[in-house]
Amino acid sequence: MKMKLAEIAKAIGAENNIEQWKDVEITSVAFDSRQLNSGALFIPLQGTQDGHQYVKSAFANGAVATLWASDHDVTVADDQPILVVDDPLEALQELSKYYLHKINPIVVAITGSNGKTTTKDMTASILSTQLNVTKTHANFNNEIGVPVTLLNMESSTEVVVVEMGMDRPGQLDFLSKLVSPDFAVITMIGEAHIEFFRTRGKIADAKMEITHGLKEDGTFIFNGDEPLLQERAADVEQHKVTFGRQLTDDFYATSVKQHEASIDFKVNEWPDEEFTIPMVGEYNVNNALAAIAVGKQLHITPVHIKKALKNVELTENRAEWVEGAQGEHILSDVYNSNPTAAKQVLKTVEELPTSGKRIAVLGDMLELGDASVRLHASLAENIDANKIEELYLVGPEMKNLQNELENDGYPASAIHHYSTDELDRLVTDLQATINTEDLVLLKASHGIHLEKVLAKLTAK
Q: How big is the CA angle at 409 (ends 406 and 415), to the nearest 5 degrees?
A: 45
The H or E element that residue 94 is part of is: helix 88-103
Residue 276 labeled ligand binder: no
Residue 317 has pLDDT above 60, yes or no: no
pLDDT tens sequence across 331-386: 998 878 889 889 989 998 998 888 999 999 999 998 888 889 999 999 999 999 99
Q: How big is the CA angle at 161 (ends 92 and 264), to the nearest 5 degrees?
A: 155
Which CATH number describes the domain made up of 3-86? Answer: 3.40.1390.10
Q: What is the mean pLDDT of residues 292-305?
A: 98
pLDDT tens sequence across 249-270: 999 999 999 888 899 999 999 9
Residue 207 has pLDDT above 80, yes or no: yes
Q: pLDDT category, 199, cuts 50, 70, 90? A: confident
Residue 88's DSSP bridge partners are: none
Residue 439's DSSP bridge partners are: 329, 358
Residue 3 has pLDDT above 80, yes or no: yes
Q: What is the pLDDT of residue 448?
A: 95
Residue 96 has pLDDT above 80, yes or no: yes
CA distance 160 to 153: 8
- The SS3 of residue 212 is coil
Q: How big is the CA angle at 32 (ends 27 and 33), to the nearest 5 degrees?
A: 80
Q: What is the pLDDT of residue 195?
A: 64
Q: What is the pLDDT of residue 131?
A: 98
Residue 113's DSSP bridge partners are: none
Q: What is the mean pLDDT of residues 430-450?
A: 94
Q: What is the pLDDT of residue 217?
A: 98
Provide DSSP, 24-64. Answer: -EE-EEES-TTS--TTEEE---BSSSBGGGGHHHHHHTT--
Which CATH number describes the domain made up of 105-310? Answer: 3.40.1190.10
CA distance 343 to 321: 18
Residue 117 labeled ligand binder: yes
The pTM of this model reads 0.87
CA distance 83 to 106: 30
Q: What is the pLDDT of residue 192?
A: 66
Contact 119, 110 (CB under 8 A): yes
Q: pLDDT category, 314, cuts 50, 70, 90? A: confident
**Residues counted in the chain:** 460
Q: How many helices (H) and strands (E) does the chain have?
A: 16, 21
Residue 456 labeled ligand binder: no
Output the CA–CA distances (angstroms, integers) from residue 52 to 49, 61, 71, 424, in the order listed. 9, 15, 11, 38
Residue 116 labeled ligand binder: yes
pLDDT averaged over the chain?
Answer: 93
CA distance 259 to 21: 59
- Closest Cα partner for 89 from 46, 127, 52, 40? 46
What torsion do the CA atoms of 295, 296, 300, 301 make, to the nearest 10 degrees?
A: 130
* Domain ranges within the chain, ordered by starting residue: 3-86, 105-310, 320-458
244's torsion region: left (phi>0), alpha (psi -120 to 50) or beta? left
Residue 113 labeled ligand binder: yes
Residue 8 has pLDDT above 80, yes or no: yes
Percent of the chain predicted with pLDDT > 90: 81
Amino acid symbol at 191: E
Which CATH number describes the domain made up of 320-458? Answer: 3.90.190.20
Percent of the chain predicted with pLDDT > 70: 98
Segment of 98-112, 192-206, 315-329, 351-365 carrying the highest mean pLDDT: 98-112
Residue 452 labeled ligand binder: no
